[in-house]
Amino acid sequence: MLLPSPSSGLPARYVIQDGGLYEMQMVDSEGLRSWFVGDTIQSDGALFLITPFDPVFMLIPILDTMRQKTPTSEGKFLMLEGIFGSSNDQYPSMRHLTNLKNIDGYLALVCEVRDSSPSMKTFRLDDDRVMGWLKKKMDVLVSKFGTIPALVDSIAYTESLPEACRSEAITQSVLRLISANLSDSWATRLSANYQFPELDKLESRTQLPSMSEFGKRSGMDLDDEPKTKEVKKPKMSVGQRKLAKASTAGMKPMTSFFAKKA
């Protein structure tokens, strides 16, 4: 089923099975690959990867739009049906999200919940809870960091660096990982909570001058050179410049030897 991707808002494929949410990714080599399946050949070489996906990431952007927050009001409380209901034309399959196991529990993690009666639970996204949950997510991942080889590889460059640097690199790497599943505005808000003084020091020491500096420098050249050049001299090749320096004392011009043709 198609749902908006939490990071880009563009449609992406997801699967709900046994009350769990899964993200589907297709690895496609543009038809240049095929598979052997037993004794047969499957000509479509595309590979679908289906991996568990934390529903909360999916819920945050949906709740964010549905609460209709304005500068004056904190937004609406909505029932489950109101949040994922048929009002959403672009993603009709969104209502299937209500079938997720423990959807109320997931919502409660990031929402303010009001239950006037057991059958009338309403939810509204709560910024502080979102941040709290994201930070907890960060902490869990940071603590599990060493157990995930792919993540350890991502900070391999810090191996020779002091411990302070290394732990910052771990946090940074986790932050990137989590931000990959967030919209830009949430990602910036989350990253505002983390600073990397040691890494910044390291970068400022090792980084080359940024492109903008190059731009400035060449920009200056562009401004100055043509003006001075044009004023100075018409084009002369190297040889001509050398000859211009040659002393022609005692040499008569060619016209004094050869007459001009009529």
Partner 1 sequence: MLEARLQTGALLKKVLEAIKELITDANFDCSDNGIALQAMDNSHVALVALLLRHDGFEPYRCDRSLALGVNLVSLSKILRCAGNDDIITLKADDTADVLSLTFENTDNDRISEYELKLMDIDSEHLGIPDTTYEAVVQMSSAEFARICKDLQVLSDSVQIDVTKEGVKFAAKGELGSGAVTLKQNGNVDKEEEATLIELQQNVSLNFSLKYLVNFTKATPLASRVSLSMSSEVPLLVEYKMEAGYIRYYLAPKIGEDN
Interface contacts to partner 1, rule CB under 8 A: 234-240, 242-261
- Let me know: does 91 contact 58? Beta carbons within 8 Å: no
Which residues have a Cβ under 8 Å from the Cβ of 135 and sit 6 or more positions away?
190, 193
Q: How far is the CB of 179 from partner 1 (least distance, A)?
A: 49
H or E, element range at 49: strand 47-52
131 neighbors 56 (Cβ within 8 angstroms): no
In this complex, which beta carbon is closest to partner 1, that of residue 43 or of residue 237? 237
8 A C-beta contact, residue 22 and residue 53: yes
Q: Which is nearer to partner 1, 205 or 245 (CB)?
A: 245
CB of 241 to partner 1, least distance (A): 9
For residue 245, the minimal CB distance to partner 1 (Å) is 7
Q: Which is nearer to partner 1, 116 or 240 (CB)?
A: 240
Measured between alpha carbons, how far is 149 from 153 in angstroms, rounded to an integer?
Answer: 6
Q: To the nearest whole angstrom, how small is the minimum distance from the Cβ of residue 28 to partner 1?
A: 36
Extract the tokens encoding 223: 């401004």
C-beta of 222 vs 262, nearer to partner 1: 262
CB 25 within 8 A of CB 112: no
Shortest approach of partner 1 to residue 262 CB, angstroms?
9
Which of 205/252 has CB closer to partner 1? 252
